[in-house]
Amino acid sequence: MDKEIRDKYQPVIGLEVHAQLLTQSKAYSSDSTEYGMLPNTNLSAITLAHPGTLPRINKKVVEMAVKMGLATHCEITRHNVYARKNYFYPDLPKGYQLTQDKTPVCTGGHLVVKNEAGTDSHIGITRIHMEEDAGKSMHLPGEIETLVDFNRAGVPLIEIVSEPDLRDSTEAYNYMVEIRRLVRYLDICDGNMEEGSLRCDANVSVMLKGAKQYGTKVEVKNMNSFRNVQRAIEHEIERQIMILENGGVVEGETRGFDANTGTTSSQRSKETMNDYRYFPEPDLPPLVIEQEWLHTIKESMPALPQELYKRFTEELGLPEYDAAVLTDSKEIALYFNELTQHTSNYKAASNWVMGPVKSYLNELTLHISDFPLQPQQIAEIIALVDENKVSHSIAAKQIYPFLLENPSKTALQVAEEQSLLQQSDSDSLQLIISEVVAGNPAKVAEYKAGKQALIGMFMGEIMKKTQGKADPKIANKLLRETLNA
């Protein structure tokens, strides 16, 4: 699309994110939520809402929803009423969904994310409410019938609804990354979009820059990755702009995204008034979140990404890039945080975690909980380098790999047993330096004639003779003194 045309319009984007909660039982019954079970085995009469059965509130669902609300600076609704949302899909066994309507458990929060220009944007959170998932319709290859698996029916969800504050697809992408990072830090959702445990619908409209009224919004569904959320929004923005540029009218509708073509297509039109016929759930009593319970939930909250990011940059003096990489994963952030309790060389600690530690985990597809070395052992390696007992090269290429295979040893033990400690004894080093200088008279003459770069060649020879164990600073000083004598 021509940039001049694109720049005439302002996109307006709001996201609705469904996060499937990591509870062992469903939202309103004791049925298992285990993923990958045989179809229609995680079921009971309660999930199917048979006559005479009654749902029951899962306390863990409430706790997880409140945690997400606290993490996004929301107000927590103390008096909650559940509602029935009535619609008829083949995979909705009750014919309605248990959800919240008038009293969402969390309201009025915000998230801080980066926009396309790289600056911070405050994205409002309208509400977070609790509800249950539907089942799953399946179509087997070559079959014309639709099969239904109700295992997912009743699995607990929270829906996180943003204000229409997002202004570009990069902001939307970063917002989704931050949502996933938060739910993982809180241990309330695994954040896996490919498996459907984190799902996103995007509401997209465009308006002329400077206009006061938003354009007609279109809801886009079927996006199973962050990149596809970004692609779908980009396509929809351009599609709507072209409609308006050609004198047309954008229709309010629901559209599906095709990842293969990168385009959206119409699924159904939107009504001006929804026909869900919400009414209070008669089988569930109101839920009251008392102050004592809310305080207990607050006390159980872990350190969150923004909090750790602030500590890493402001207290430890790390670059913003390091802090962003380290806080991307909760487990890596906590490992690094513990490492800083054992060393004051925070930049070296950051380099070790972002480099050798993460490389080892990635190569073997391991979780940090399976990493064989404790943070204190990495701190011991850093100390050996800082104290000039070994070079960084020796530490990274010999001590660290040996420790990975022998995690019961200390870094100093490995250095001593493998004779890796640097030679810092001046008398011993002087003998080797004198030998190297005496063996290269032509190079010595060139050096004295002004070819100062040859100092590197001499240092290389010294390192070869000492098998890399010469203290570089001491050796360099003694070498220059010898050459300049």
* Cβ atoms of 186 and 298 closer than 8 Å: no
Higher pLDDT, 274 or 152: 152
Higher pLDDT, 224 or 57: 57
- Percent of the chain at pLDDT > 90 equals 74
Model confidence at 458: pLDDT above 70:
yes
DSSP lists the bridge partners of residue 456 as none
pTM exceeds 0.85: no
Mean pLDDT in residue range 81-105 = 93
Mean pLDDT in residue range 338-363 = 97
Higher pLDDT, 208 or 439: 208
Looking at residue 218, its pLDDT comes to 96
Rounded mean pLDDT of the chain?
A: 92
Q: How far apart are CA 352 and CA 381, in angstroms?
A: 10
Q: How far apart are CA 393 and CA 175, in angstroms?
A: 40
Model confidence at 173: pLDDT above 60:
yes
Mean pLDDT in residue range 332-357 = 97
Model confidence at 375: pLDDT above 80:
yes
Q: How far apart are CA 1 and CA 255, in angstroms?
A: 21
Model confidence at 443, pLDDT cuts 50, 70, 90, reads confident
pLDDT tens digits, 275-295: 788 999 999 999 999 999 999
* Cβ atoms of 392 and 383 closer than 8 Å: no
How distant, in Å, are the alpha carbons of 75, 93, 129, 213, 457 from that of 107? 5, 30, 9, 24, 67
* Cβ atoms of 134 and 88 closer than 8 Å: no
Model confidence at 68: pLDDT above 90:
yes
Model confidence at 118, pLDDT cuts 50, 70, 90, reads confident
Mean pLDDT in residue range 390-413 = 93
Model confidence at 454: pLDDT above 70:
yes
Model confidence at 76, pLDDT cuts 50, 70, 90, reads very high
Residue that is written with structure tokens 């990842």 in the block:
259
pLDDT tens digits, 424-436: 557 667 878 888 8
Mean pLDDT in residue range 398-413 = 95
Model confidence at 217, pLDDT cuts 50, 70, 90, reads very high
Model confidence at 271: pLDDT above 60:
no
- Percent of the chain at pLDDT > 70 equals 98
Looking at residue 344, its pLDDT comes to 96
Looking at residue 423, its pLDDT comes to 60
Model confidence at 72: pLDDT above 80:
yes
Which residue segments constitute the domains of the chain, with CATH numbers given? 3-292 (no CATH), 303-417 (no CATH), 426-483 (1.10.10.410)
Looking at residue 154, its pLDDT comes to 96
Looking at residue 377, its pLDDT comes to 97
How distant, in Å, are the alpha carbons of 30, 78, 80, 282, 464 from that of 83? 20, 16, 10, 8, 77
Model confidence at 272: pLDDT above 60:
no
Looking at residue 425, its pLDDT comes to 58
Query: What backbone phi and psi angles, to 5 degrees, belong to 192?
Result: -90, 105
